[in-house]
Amino acid sequence: MHSKRAILRAVDFKKVMNFMASKRQAYYDATHEALIDSARELFKTKGYASTTVSDITTNANKTRTTFYHYFPDGKVNLIQTLMEHDVTPKFKALGNKIDGLKETPVETAFKIINRDFTEMFVASLYLWQADIYFQDELYPALKEITDDEYSGLTEKLANFIADRQKRSELVQFDPVTGAKLFLAPALQSIVLSFSGADSDIYDTKQVELLIQQWLV
């Protein structure tokens, strides 16, 4: 009987410890998300340069000590985290969408890809603007993320182009080069929009011309 009670107490203690660990993890995750949400909101409204760590912590109702526990390198860590939260999933989603366009008419498929690629950047303009204007500060932290995601998407698009060439729907050219050329106009328009130039991010003239040159 004594041994049974001891076993029951041990089981109960384990349950309590697991419950406490779960609560701690939930608090940790909630605090992390609160700081991320606060930074996202302020970066969008005030911009990266004008937002201070104090702004972020005050908006999230957290302390600076807590902030640096989660983000030891300050705002650079936050931009990196926001890229992983807000941008990486969109790149992967678009890559998966390209895979799902195998039976879509090729011209329609290209237009869908261009539209979604542009929308992906528009949704996170505040991040790309920070990346472009503060390259010296942010580039080392973001290079691996942006390079990996762009390379992965380029590969998906190149495979799509190669498949349509095999079906004799497109003229022959290097698919990887073609994929980069296809994505370039949207990227150029976005960069120009940051500089204050009169640029329409949604202008599709260059892409449509490219598509017409490629169609058999």
- The share of the chain scoring above pLDDT 90, in percent, equals 51
Residue at a domain's end among 43, 72, 101: 72
pLDDT value for 187: 80
Based on its alpha-carbon atoms, the radius of gyration of the chain, rounded to whole angstroms, reads 24
The pLDDT of residue 178: 96
Question: Can you name the residues that pair with 170 across neighbouring β-strands?
Answer: 215
Q: What is the pLDDT of residues 170-191, one digit of tens each?
A: 999 999 999 999 999 888 877 7
Say yes or no: 19 and 117 in one domain.
no
Closest C-alpha among 36, 94, 110, 23 to residue 66: 36
Average pLDDT, the chain: 85
Q: Across residues 22-37, what is the average pLDDT?
A: 82
Structural domain of 97: 75-216
Band of residue 5 on the pLDDT scale cut at 50, 70, 90: low
CATH number for the domain including 11? Answer: 1.10.10.60
- Alpha helices for 83-204 (secondary structure H): 88-99, 106-122, 125-133, 135-166, 175-194
What pLDDT is recorded for position 4? 63
Asked if residue 41 has pLDDT above 70, the reply is yes
Q: Which of 72, 94, 127 is the last residue of a domain?
A: 72
pLDDT in tens, 48-64: 889 999 999 999 999 99
pLDDT of residue 2: 56
CA angle centred on 34, ends 28 and 77, rounded to 5°: 85
User: Is 100 in the same domain as 198?
Assistant: yes
Model pTM?
0.79
CATH number at residue 192: 1.10.357.10
- pLDDT digits 0-9 by tens, 86-134: 888 999 999 999 999 999 999 999 999 999 998 988 888 888 778 766 7
What is the secondary structure of 56-99 as a DSSP string? HHHHHT--HHHHHHH-TTTHHHHHHHHIIIIIHHHHHHHHHHHH
Q: Which of 72, 97, 119 is the last residue of a domain?
A: 72
